[in-house]
Structures are given as structure tokens and as C-alpha cells.
Amino acid sequence: MFIGKKVHIAMMVLLLLVVFGTVIPDQAFAFDLNKGADDALALMKKIVLIVMLVSATATFLKHQMVAAVVIVIVGSIILATTSLDTLASIGRGLLNLVGGGS
């Protein structure tokens, strides 16, 4: 299978970046897992917000008001529960609801 010369060069550069990124100890041990998790969570919040707005707008333009409102409500709930404190309070509330909480 023929792959263009630019693709081969890009693949070699990518391979070199991966090798040097994992071999050099300063870069390998400088990664902060908590910072990476926070950045990933912030990115997911932005993605959920964009998807919610686009899908709600598309359904609104199709004259489906109930679906648009449901999309906004579900998206808002998803965004609200991305905080650990909110998840903990929801868990405590559910535990109290079933009678297992104190």
C-alpha cells in the first residue's frame, strides 16, 4: 500500500517524540496526575456544554420544544454532577432515601 512521503515523515517525527518523551527522565517524572485529571474534567465539561447547546438548538429549530428543554435539563444535571462535592451529596441523599444513612 502506498502512503505519501509526508505521512512517513510525520509518522517518524511522532515516533521520535514518543520515544524522547518517555526516555528522558525529567519529562517522564514531571507529569502531575491530578492536574491532568482536572484538565480532562474541564475539557469534558466544555464538550458536554457544546453538545448540549448544539443539540438543543437543533431540536428547537425543528419545533420540538419539549425535547430541547429535556436536553438542557439533562445537560445541566450532567454539568452539575461533575463536581465531587455534588456527587458526594447526591450519594448521601440517596443513601438517606433508602434508609441507610445517618
Per residue in 47-68, pLDDT (tens digit) is 888 888 888 898 889 998 999 9
C-alpha cell at 84: 465531587
CA–chain centroid gap for 11, Å, is 27
Query: In angstroms, what is the C-alpha Rg of the chain?
Result: 23
What is the predicted pLDDT for the residue at 1?
Answer: 45
What is the predicted pLDDT for the residue at 66?
Answer: 92
Domain ranges of the chain: 1-31, 32-102
Write down the mean pLDDT value for the chain: 76
pTM for the whole structure: 0.52
Residues of the chain with pLDDT under 50: 1, 27-28
19 vs 44, 83, 89, 99, CA distance in Å? 28, 36, 44, 54
Please state, in angstroms and rounded to a whole number, the distance separating the CA atoms of residues 74 and 71. Answer: 5
What is the predicted pLDDT for the residue at 102?
Answer: 59
C-alpha cell at 73: 435539563
